[in-house]
């Protein structure tokens, strides 16, 4: 039976073999004067060089000279050069084994180190266990073990010994973590945990399976199902503080494992491991169920008001004919009155003759109804769905303890009033109840009958609670997405430390003074250029900016070259493409077992599971279409090897390799990117993140918001609601998904642009360059009085209020520092700020700061045609990505049919990985095709290559049978032969 391994072959080589990179050789193997003196005492060049090698290798990697590994020639030559001896003399070293042994003992005494003995294993296990508290990956564990042993002045034992110690240390760390969790649980809690994996006839399955299996579509029945599960989880009696007994990584690992392990597998675990895994799963489930219930509450309340507004709009449309008749009646009445005034006749007689008094009086009821419809508040119509609200609102309010500060306390009191009425089963509310509504119209509607309208009051409270939860003014402890606003940010001391490395002056006065000078100078220069017609494609007509449309920038020659290169690209199956990309980038190394951290034994199974996600084929149909891969294998692989973290790590490896390709530099410097949303229809009404957006039709769907570098590397994607604004997600990809890409400039369309995004992009060091659809209608901002800028006064908006920025400057810096540090995602903060019905101080201050940056950008846009062209090119690259995505995601009519947001995210991650792999592969072979054209004498202007795109797929077989066993695997360093366009005709001839 094969021994369990902690390390892959590549990891063993990285850890145990001497490095051969020039900088590493210089750093590790440069001899000191003392070294040279010691070596110089040996007789003969062979002994001197051999002793130097012993010293060098004792220091790094730390094993000494190992005959089975030997010494790389580059290191040997470097040591020989320092000793002025011939490298070939090393072959005569150690012809007597005793010489090597004596030299090893001498070096050990010289360096103050000693051999590793069996009795030192306990120390090695402790070092490995300490390292394993923070990772399950073999390489960092063994590396930490090696550093620890060298720190204790040991000669390192063999690689096998280190690997076995690492395995044992990791097992010890896991056992210790499990024991630490279980120690904090009561006997009753342990009993309830054990019951989670036993079939329960009430559920028709194990309680664990029932807890995991919940619907996400927003209905009253589904939210009650979530609340029922939440009550069950809380009844187990596990406090989240239990997770703090072990390192964060260890607890997160239990959570990951507990989230996917089936009950039958958990039953086979050791007692402590099972209970610790279930504890983590319960703590995670409590937070997920709470967040899910609140999010569903949000969607249900929002849906009530959306339907109310749509209903009013439909009634408006239905009344168009009546409005027309009334307008004609009203017009005839005015005509009659005008005639009476002009001719001195009796108005009433003339109205009666022209219109008919009875008709006019009869129309009064219709006029009143239309007037009521015009002034009708959505609250009134939403109240018609009060019965639906009552199906879940009492249970929802009882499930949570709401907290607030400041003005939010009035809302908490109002919630208590409703709870009390629910307990007493009273329909009436007491006098003097709080009215915590920013909308004065609601206060009037609720009290217009002289008493509190219970229905309107309760719906208004729920709508206000929804808004305050979104903004963070009201929070619920124990949730992840509905905490206090401050809880998402770094503490003030920590934020101050991060602020020191931010790319702007953290002193408000000096920062604003500098921006004011720059803005003033730019506005004056712009006014002068506009007046003298020195701006290309920009003119001022009737006090309104006119911007000429940019002409197409792709020359016909580039299109012809694209066709030539496309015909040369190898015809390849997607299976072969993925295997080749995996070999060249190593991205399969990222897909490791959630429990052991080891790589999959069958790479084809992992690739098939990725294809099942990315093509929307699904696991069962993928198994039917695949050779040598069963459904059970795919399901197991998807469960244990495919995770959001693994997808992200694999994507980062492809993107990094893509940006290293020389050919990709034809498309840009690798420092700019673009982002945009793409709509996909869903198969279920409002399942997961699906919603109806009238812009895309009447069917529900989701959007994938993706980020693409100027090298055509798709480095980020995420699922978002079809009705949500795109602007909050612009920065997520740049801050959280870009990895080590040196991005400085980012393009979006109008949907991604808000003043808040302008502000945060600038403060984080990004140049934000959106293509604003209505840029001619947007007002410019100024810190000086708008009248200062002669000739463009009508283009100026109100003065930017720098006092508001200064007043909340510290909080703005704190937000930026928290985003930079990775403490909070930009979208979380931006959605919280956007949730305020009335602009609060911080929201307003950040928007005012954004107005400065938006104005400076607008001036750049108007003055720099090259910026407009660059933005258009960047967005065109995004459109090419969308086209490829639609071509890949074709199964099940290209719909997101999954019920849960989690599964939808897997689909999006798989799709993005396939896009990145295809783009990388195409870039490699476009380079080879271009070289081929040059080699056969077909000359072309290299500048035309900038207009090509690696997002084509006509040469790739995306569908059909997936023959993994027959897929051609290229030997290392080889490539597929280029396509011969005339090959088929030659064969026919």
User: What is the model's pLDDT at position 740?
Assistant: 84
Strand partners, 205: 200
What whole-number distance in Å separates Cα of residue 335 and Cα of residue 337? 5
- Please check whether residue 594 is in contact with residue 644, taking contact to mean a CB–CB distance below 8 angstroms: no
Nearest to 647 by CA among 914, 266, 457, 362: 914
C-alpha atoms less than 13 angstroms from C-alpha of 353 in its C-beta half-sphere: 11
Calpha distance 380→645 (Å, rounded): 46
Residue 644: is its pLDDT beyond 60?
yes
Angle 680-467-407 (CA atoms, 0-180°, nearest 5)? 165
Residue 448: predicted pLDDT: 85
- How far apart (Å, rounded) are the C-alpha atoms in residues 149 and 144? 9
Chain Cα centroid distance, residue 276: 29
Confidence label for 982 from pLDDT (cuts 50, 70 and 90): low
State the pLDDT confidence band at 558, using cuts at 50, 70 and 90: very high
Q: State the Cα–Cα distance between residues 769 and 776, nearest whole angstrom.
A: 16
| Segment 172-223, tens digit of pLDDT | 999 999 999 999 899 999 999 999 999 999 999 999 999 999 988 899 999 9
Average pLDDT over residues 336-361: 74
pLDDT given at position 989: 46
Q: What is the mean pLDDT of residues 893-921?
A: 93
Least confident piece of the model among 120-129, 369-378, 616-625: 369-378
pLDDT in tens, 399-447: 999 999 877 899 999 999 999 999 999 988 988 899 998 888 899 889 8
Judged on CB neighbours under 10 Å (0-12, 13-18, 19+), 103 is: buried
pLDDT of residue 199: 95
Give residue 983's pLDDT.
61
| H or E element that contains 159 | helix 159-183
Give the confidence band of 9 by pLDDT, cuts at 50, 70, 90: confident
Tokens representing 166? 């690492």
Average pLDDT, the chain: 90
Check pLDDT > 90 for residue 364.
Answer: no
The residues that bridge with 692 in the sheet, in sequence order, are 700
247, 133 contact by CB (below 8 A): yes
Q: Are 453 and 461 in contact (CB under 8 A)?
A: no
Q: Of 216-220, 281-285, 436-440, 543-547, give the range with the top mean pLDDT.
A: 281-285
Residue 776 pLDDT level (bands cut at 50, 70, 90): confident
Mean pLDDT value across residues 130-159: 94
As a whole number of angstroms, the distance between CA 304 and CA 378 comes to: 9
pLDDT > 90? residue 352: no
Least confident of 29-38, 231-240, 425-434, 875-884: 425-434
Q: How far apart are CA 248 and CA 767, in angstroms?
A: 36
Span 734-760, mean pLDDT?
91
Q: Is the pLDDT of residue 723 over 90?
A: no
Tokens (6 digits) for 830: 């931006």
Confidence of residue 620 (pLDDT cuts 50, 70, 90): very high
Give the burial class of 858: count Cβ atoms within 10 A of its Cβ; 0-12 exposed, 13-18 middle, 19 or more buried. buried
What is the structure's pLDDT at 381?
86
Q: Quick one: pLDDT band at residue 987, thresholds 50, 70, 90?
A: very low
As a whole-number percent, the residues of the chain with pLDDT over 90 amount to: 69
Q: Considering all CA atoms of the chain, what is the largest pairwise distance in Å, rounded to the nearest integer?
A: 136
Residue 92, pLDDT above cutoff 90: no
- Please check the confidence at residue 536 and state whether its pLDDT lies above 60: yes
pLDDT band at 839 (very low <50, low <70, confident <90, very high): low
Measure Cα distances from 177 to 132, 195, 249 in Å.
10, 22, 10
Neighbours of 187 (CB within 10 A): 7
User: What residues have CB less than 8 Å from 138, skipping those under 6 apart?
Assistant: 5, 6, 7, 8, 11, 163, 166, 597, 598
The residue written with tokens 């020989």 in the block is 80
Mean pLDDT of all residues in 599-618: 94
Q: Yes or no: say if 82 and 35 are a contact pair by the CB < 8 Å rule.
A: no
Q: What is the pLDDT of residue 659?
A: 97
Which is nearest to 233 in space by CA: 269, 176, 199, 279?
Answer: 279
């Amino acid at each position: 039976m094969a021994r369990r391994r902690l390390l892959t072959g590549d990891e063993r080589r990285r850890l145990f073999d001497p490095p051969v990179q020039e900088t590493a050789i210089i750093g590790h193997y440069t001899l000191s004067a003392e070294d040279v003196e010691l070596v110089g005492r040996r007789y003969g060049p062979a002994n001197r060089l051999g002793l130097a090698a012993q010293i060098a290798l004792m220091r790094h990697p730390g094993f000494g000279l190992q005959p089975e590994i030997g010494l790389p020639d580059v290191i040997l030559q470097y040591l020989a050069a320092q000793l002025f001896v011939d490298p070939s003399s090393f072959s005569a070293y150690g012809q007597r084994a005793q010489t090597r042994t004596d030299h090893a003992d001498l070096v050990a005494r010289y360096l103050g180190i000693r051999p590793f003995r069996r009795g030192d294993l306990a120390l090695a296990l402790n070092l490995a266990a300490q390292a394993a508290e923070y990772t399950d990956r073999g390489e960092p564990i063994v590396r930490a073990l090696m550093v620890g042993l060298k720190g204790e002045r040991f000669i390192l034992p063999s690689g096998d010994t280190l690997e076995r110690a690492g395995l044992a240390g990791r097992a010890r760390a896991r056992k210790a973590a499990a024991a630490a969790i279980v120690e904090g649980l009561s006997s009753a809690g342990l009993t309830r945990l054990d019951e989670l994996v036993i079939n329960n006839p009430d559920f028709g399955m194990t309680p664990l399976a029932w807890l995991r299996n919940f619907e996400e579509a927003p209905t009253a029945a589904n939210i009650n199902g979530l609340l029922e599960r939440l009550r069950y989880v809380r009844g187990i009696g596990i406090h989240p503080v239990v997770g703090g007994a072990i390192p964060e990584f260890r607890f997160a690992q239990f959570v990951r494992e507990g989230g996917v392990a089936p009950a039958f597998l958990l039953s086979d675990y050791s007692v402590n491991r099972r209970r610790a895994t279930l504890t983590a799963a319960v703590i995670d489930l409590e937070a997920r169920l709470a967040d899910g219930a609140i999010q569903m509450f949000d969607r249900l309340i929002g849906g009530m008001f959306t339907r109310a507004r749509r209903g009013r709009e439909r009634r408006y449309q239905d009344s168009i004919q009546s409005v027309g008749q009334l307008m004609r009646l009203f017009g005839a009445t005015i005509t009659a009155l005008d005639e009476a005034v002009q001719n001195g006749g009796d108005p009433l007689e003339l109205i009666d003759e022209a219109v008919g008094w009875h008709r006019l009086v009869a129309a009064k009821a219709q006029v009143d109804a239309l007037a009521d419809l015009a002034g009708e508040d959505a609250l009134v119509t939403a109240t018609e769905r009060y019965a639906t609200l009552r199906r879940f609102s009492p249970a929802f309010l009882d499930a949570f303890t709401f907290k607030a500060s400041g003005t939010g306390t009035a809302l908490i009191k109002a919630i208590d009033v409703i709870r009390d009425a629910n307990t007493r089963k009273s329909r009436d509310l007491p006098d003097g109840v709080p009215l915590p509504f920013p909308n004065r119209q609601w206060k009037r509607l609720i009290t217009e009958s002289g008493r509190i309208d219970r229905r309107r009051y309760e719906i208004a409270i729920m709508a206000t609670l929804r808004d305050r939860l979104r903004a963070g003014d009201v929070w619920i402890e124990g949730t992840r997405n509905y905490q206090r606003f401050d809880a998402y940010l770094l503490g003030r001391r920590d934020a101050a430390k991060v602020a020191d490395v931010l790319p702007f002056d953290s002193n408000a006065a000096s920062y604003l003074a500098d921006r004011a000078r720059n803005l003033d100078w730019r506005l004056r220069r712009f006014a002068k250029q506009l007046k003298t017609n020195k701006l290309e494609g920009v003119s001022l007509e009737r006090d309104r900016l006119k911007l000429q449309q940019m002409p197409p920038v792709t020359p016909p020659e580039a299109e012809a070259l694209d066709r030539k290169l496309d015909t040369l690209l190898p015809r390849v199956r997607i299976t072969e493409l993925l295997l080749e990309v995996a070999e060249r980038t190593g991205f399969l190394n990222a897909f490791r077992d959630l429990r052991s951290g080891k790589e999959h034994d069958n790479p084809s199974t992992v690739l098939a599971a990725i294809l099942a996600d990315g093509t929307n084929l699904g696991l069962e149909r993928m198994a039917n279409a695949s050779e040598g891969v069963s459904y059970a294998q795919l399901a197991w692989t998807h469960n244990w090897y495919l995770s959001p973290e693994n997808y992200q790590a694999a994507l980062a490896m492809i993107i990094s390799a893509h940006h290293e390709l020389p050919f990709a530099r034809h498309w840009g410097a690798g420092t700019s990117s673009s982002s945009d949303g793409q709509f996909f229809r869903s198969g279920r009404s409002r399942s997961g993140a699906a919603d109806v957006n009238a812009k895309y039709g009447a069917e529900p769907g989701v959007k994938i918001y993706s980020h693409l570098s100027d090298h055509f590397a798709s480095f980020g994607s995420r699922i978002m609601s079809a009705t949500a604004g795109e602007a909050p997600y612009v920065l997520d990809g740049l801050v959280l998904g870009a990895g080590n890409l040196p991005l400085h400039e980012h393009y979006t369309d109008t949907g991604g642009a808000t003043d808040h995004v302008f502000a945060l992009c600038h403060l984080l060091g990004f140049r934000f360059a959106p293509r604003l659809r209505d840029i001619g209608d947007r007002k410019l901002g100024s810190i000086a009085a708008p009248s200062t800028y002669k000739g463009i006064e009508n283009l100026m908006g109100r003065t930017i209020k720098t006092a508001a920025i200064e007043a909340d400057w510290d909080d703005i810096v704190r937000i930026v520092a928290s985003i930079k540090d990775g403490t909070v995602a930009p979208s979380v903060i931006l959605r919280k700020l956007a949730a305020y019905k009335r602009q609060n101080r911080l929201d307003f201050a950040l928007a005012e700061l954004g107005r400065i940056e938006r104005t400076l950008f607008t001036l750049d846009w108007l003055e720099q045609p090259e910026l407009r062209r660059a933005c258009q090119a960047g967005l065109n690259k995004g459109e090419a990505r969308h086209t490829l995505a639609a071509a890949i995601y074709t199964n099940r009519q290209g719909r997101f049919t999954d019920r849960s947001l989690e599964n939808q995210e897997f689909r999006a991650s798989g799709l993005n990985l396939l896009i990145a792999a295809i783009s990388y592969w195409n870039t490699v072979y476009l380079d080879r095709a271009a070289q081929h054209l040059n080699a056969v004498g077909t000359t072309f202007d290299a500048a035309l290559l900038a207009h090509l795109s690696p997002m084509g797929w006509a040469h790739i077989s995306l569908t059909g049978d997936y023959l993994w066993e027959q897929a051609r695997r290229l030997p290392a360093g080889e490539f597929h032969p280029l396509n011969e366009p005339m090959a088929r005709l030659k064969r026919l001839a």
